[in-house]
Amino acid sequence: MIPNRHRLSREFSMLPQTNRRNFLTGSVSAIASQHILQTEGHTQEAKNSSQMGKLRLASFSFDITPPKGHSLCGGWIKPVIDIDDPLEAIGYVLSGYGKPIVICVLDWTGLLNSAHLRWRQRLAEAAGTTPDRVAVQCVHQHNAPFACLDAQAIVAAQGDLPDIVDPDFFDRCLNTGYNAVKDSIKHSLPVTHIAHGEAPVKKIAGNRRIIGLNGKVLSQRGSSSTRPEHQKYPEGLIDSMLKTVTFFNEDRALVSSHYYACHPMSYYGDGRVSADFCGIARRQRQTHDHECKHLYFNGCGGNIGAGKYNNGSKEARAMLTHRLLDGIVASETSMTRQPIKSFKWATQDILPPLNPAFDETTLMREISNKGNRTVARNRPAYAVAFMRRMQQQIPITLSSLHVNDVSILHLPAECFIEYQLRSQATANDRFVACAAYGDGGPWYIPTRDAYPQGGYAVNVAWCAPAMDEILSSGIQTLLTGV
């Protein structure tokens, strides 16, 4: 069944009429078992030099550090007791062809469901554009907020659970972001060139899922580990390459975006807010290059972590930071500037199928059970929130930016690395950079083959195995015709 306005959530229905119309513009036709929605007018392309000469870029950043006492990672780890280093939202606005495009990345664990929609809506209002031309991703550090307003409402109704996110803090961040984006546009500069490069990152990533002889997950090698067998197993299937895309005004670098797939935690759970090794490396690179805004995006790292090389110590955080910074600098060194000759923005809406392993009545019983640990009560609220969203058929939006031979994909949740590798193989004549951890509603997005293998990620995947074909088809559409 195709979505229509009167079946959308109250959150969505309260948007201004013009923005509701722009969110689901034109006529929608359902394909691929009616889970993939191709929206008319979602692709805009410019190929002549006069249009390219009008492109401008404005960069912005603002603080999104939670206050003391705020929940971290959904409320089931220690709340904020202090700040080791601040959390930031960083992004840029591209204007000059059609309505502006906004790209933003947050040092948060996640933005899910209506929380993600609200960020896109608010930044769109600031830039004078529509939500379908806004991509908001998260880096996924864990000593950070894990924002789902729908799940927050569910746990708040219980009366005895820690908040998932403080709605007032959430709104303050949105208002700060609105002002930062609006102000940045006053200082936009021409965009004339683009460059891309890549380099291997050594001794950080390893596949988290160790498979035994029976074809099942034998052990999960997480973000850190002190178990000798976790260190001796090979890295497994990863993408070792860190990719960089930089926009220039002639020979001046304006924005440099770095893409690498790995869970971004060295250690967490101590109540000390930190952007962790990925955020620290990005910030260190920024200190060496004040004129260019640096962004870091986590790729499809749902099944990738640093546990092979990370023992969870403070020394390991410093080591991982150094190794990632080396990869960033090496990828930039390999770049060659080229004039911008083509430009395209495309989106694809999908409706993920729900995982039949989860039942709302059972989950609500777990949430209400005061004998359960907090994690066993707060976590199911995320599942219920997503289930209710899909029942209302509020889609997830995939988006892509194509400039010359560069394609940047903005994907949802914790996609497995296979989706990133498939994307690159599908468009092997292009430079494909993947940013996952967008709309985090689905939580993990394994491949179809991973479900029978079991393991943690499958146990918290709110989508059915058919999500593999739906997401892959959506990505294929984004990469077609560029």
- Tell me which residue has tokens 């079946």: 7
Angle between helix axes 149-156 and 114-127 (nearest 10 degrees) is 130
pLDDT band at residue 97 under the 50/70/90 scheme:
confident
- Cα distance between the two ends of the chain: 30
Average pLDDT for residues 167-174, to the nearest whole number? 98
For residues 358 and 385, what is the distance between their CA atoms, to the nearest angstrom? 12
- Tell me which residue has tokens 């304006």: 254
Residue 30 scores a pLDDT above 60? no
For residues 205 and 262, what is the distance between their CA atoms, to the nearest angstrom? 6
pLDDT band at residue 26 under the 50/70/90 scheme:
very low
What pLDDT does residue 21 have? Answer: 31
Average pLDDT for residues 140-163, to the nearest whole number? 98
Pairing outcome for strands 43-46 and 343-350:
antiparallel
Q: What percent of the chain has a predicted confidence (pLDDT) above 90?
A: 87
What pLDDT does residue 44 have? Answer: 60
The answer to which of 220-234, 401-415, 439-453 has the lowest mean pLDDT is 220-234
The answer to which of 42-46, 102-106, 152-156, 162-166 has the lowest mean pLDDT is 42-46
Average pLDDT for residues 12-40, to the nearest whole number? 38
Q: Which of 398, 476, 473 is nearest to 435 (CA)?
A: 398
Pairing outcome for strands 88-95 and 56-63:
antiparallel
What DSSP string runs through 19-79?
A: HHHHHT-S-EEEETTTTEEEETT-EEEE-SHHHHTT-EEEEEEEE-PPPTT---GGGTS--
What pLDDT does residue 219 have? Answer: 94
What pLDDT does residue 346 have? Answer: 97
Residue 301 scores a pLDDT above 80? yes
What pLDDT does residue 35 have? Answer: 62
pLDDT band at residue 91 under the 50/70/90 scheme:
very high
| Structure tokens given for 42 | 């979602």
| Structure tokens given for 399 | 């988006």
Reported as a single tens digit per residue, the pLDDT across 232-275 is 999 999 999 999 999 999 999 999 999 999 999 999 999 999 99
pLDDT band at residue 162 under the 50/70/90 scheme:
very high
What is the largest distance, in Å, between two alpha-carbon atoms of the chain?
66
Task: Calculate the average pLDDT of the chain.
Answer: 91
Q: Tell me the residue length of the chain.
A: 482
What pLDDT does residue 37 have? Answer: 59
On the CB side of 314, CA atoms within 13 Å amount to 3
Pairing outcome for strands 209-211 and 134-138:
unpaired
Sign of CA dihedral 181, 186, 189, 190: positive
Bridge partners of residue 33, in order along the sequence:
none
- Tell me which residue has tokens 């759970």: 269
For residues 56 and 208, what is the distance between their CA atoms, to the nearest angstrom? 41
For residues 13 and 377, what is the distance between their CA atoms, to the nearest angstrom? 29
**Cβ-count burial 116-150 (b if 16+ within 10 Å, e if not):** bbbbbbbbbbbbebbbbbbbbbbbbbbbbbbbbbb
The beta strands (E) that lie in 239-323 are given as: 241-249, 252-260, 272-273, 293-298, 304-305
What pLDDT does residue 2 have? Answer: 33
What pLDDT does residue 46 have? Answer: 57
Residue 437 scores a pLDDT above 90? yes
Q: Which of 218, 278, 256 is nearest to 88 (CA)?
A: 278
Q: Which CA distances in Å does 20 have to 72, 170, 327?
A: 32, 22, 42
Reported as a single tens digit per residue, the pLDDT across 329-355 is 999 999 999 999 999 999 999 999 999
The answer for residues whose C-beta is within 8 angstroms of residue 189's C-beta and 6 or more apart is 56, 57, 58, 249, 254
Pairing outcome for strands 444-445 and 414-415:
parallel
What pLDDT does residue 43 have? Answer: 58
Reported as a single tens digit per residue, the pLDDT across 400-410 is 999 999 999 99
On the CB side of 57, CA atoms within 13 Å amount to 22
pLDDT band at residue 6 under the 50/70/90 scheme:
very low
Residue 47 scores a pLDDT above 70? no
